[in-house]
Amino acid sequence: MSKKDYYVVTRPQGGWAVKKEGSQRASAVTGTQKESIEIGKDLAKKSQGELIIQGKDHKFREKNSYGNDPRNIKG
């Protein structure tokens, strides 16, 4: 399976969406950021990609890697 990154983003209509990198359509739409993060985390783990989370201020606030991280970081 190829690595795919997923984004948790706000929606103009309200709520939150999980979008796969390069895709126009959302993989999931939820009412809360927490729900979108859980769904995005599962999808990123399955694809061994990353989950990038957008805050309410539309700035990306967090990035988590679930794949083969090239950096050697303990902990």
The model's pLDDT over 44-59, given as tens digits with 9 standing for 90+, comes to 999 999 999 999 898 9
Whole-number pLDDT of residue 69: 63
Output the pLDDT for position 73.
Answer: 63
In which element (H, E) is residue 16 found?
strand 16-20
Q: Are 71 and 26 in contact (CB under 8 A)?
A: no
Helix (H) or strand (E) holding 44: helix 33-47
Low-confidence ranges of the chain (pLDDT < 70): 1-3, 68-75
Strand 50-54 and strand 6-10: the pairing is parallel
**30-38 contacts: CB < 8 A, separation 24 or more?**
33/8, 36/8, 37/8
